[in-house]
């Protein structure tokens, strides 16, 4: 008898990997040698897996649209969003975020969005681990909001 869990497992196995496989077919004895061989053309790297439809990446925050209602703070299961009283805006801590998108669903003015960006790692240890404003909208001198680059 196949349970629902078993059927889900079989579907996932058939669908293939969700993330990128190891860049080479077999684990090399030395990664430095493998990268050198790839740069010289002696080894072929696996191509990256395309980002799937509906992928929830890093949160984008349009600060100009935010009304400071704090609904996102109330629904966040990871306590990844804090309120800045002086600005009446929120601060999103990406290092705590579980990318559940509940904040996006509850926001009454749609100032929060999930991007398709998933590469969060960096060599810069001092990089800010939070999102203040993604800068999706700019305010013109007449007070009108327009998308950047228009």
The pLDDT of residue 107 is above 90: yes
User: 70 pLDDT exceeds 90?
Assistant: yes
Please give the Cα distance from 93 to 116 (Å, whole number): 17
Position with higher pLDDT, 56 vs 140: 56
Distances (CA, A) of 139 to 81, 114, 144: 24, 22, 6
59-147 belongs to which CATH class? alpha beta
Q: Indicate if the pLDDT at residue 130 is higher than 80.
A: no
CB 82 within 8 A of CB 73: yes
β-sheet bridge partners, residue 113: 60
Tell me which range, 26-30, 76-80, 126-130, is most confidently predicted by mean pLDDT.
76-80
């Amino acid at each position: 008898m196949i349970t629902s869990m078993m059927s889900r497992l079989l579907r996932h196995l058939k669908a293939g990997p969700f993330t990128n496989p190891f860049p080479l077919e077999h684990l090399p004895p030395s990664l430095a040698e493998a990268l050198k061989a790839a740069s010289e053309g002696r080894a072929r790297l696996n191509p990256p897996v395309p980002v799937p439809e509906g992928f929830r990446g890093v949160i984008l925050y349009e600060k100009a649209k935010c009304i400071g209602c704090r609904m996102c703070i109330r629904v966040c299961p990871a306590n990844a969003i804090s309120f800045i009283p002086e600005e009446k805006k929120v601060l999103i801590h990406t290092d705590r975020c579980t990318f559940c998108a509940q904040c996006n669903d509850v926001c009454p003015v749609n100032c929060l969005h999930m991007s398709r960006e998933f590469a969060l790692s960096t060599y810069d240890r001092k990089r800010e681990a939070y999102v203040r404003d993604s800068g999706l909208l700019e305010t013109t001198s007449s007070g009108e909001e327009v998308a950047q680059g228009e």
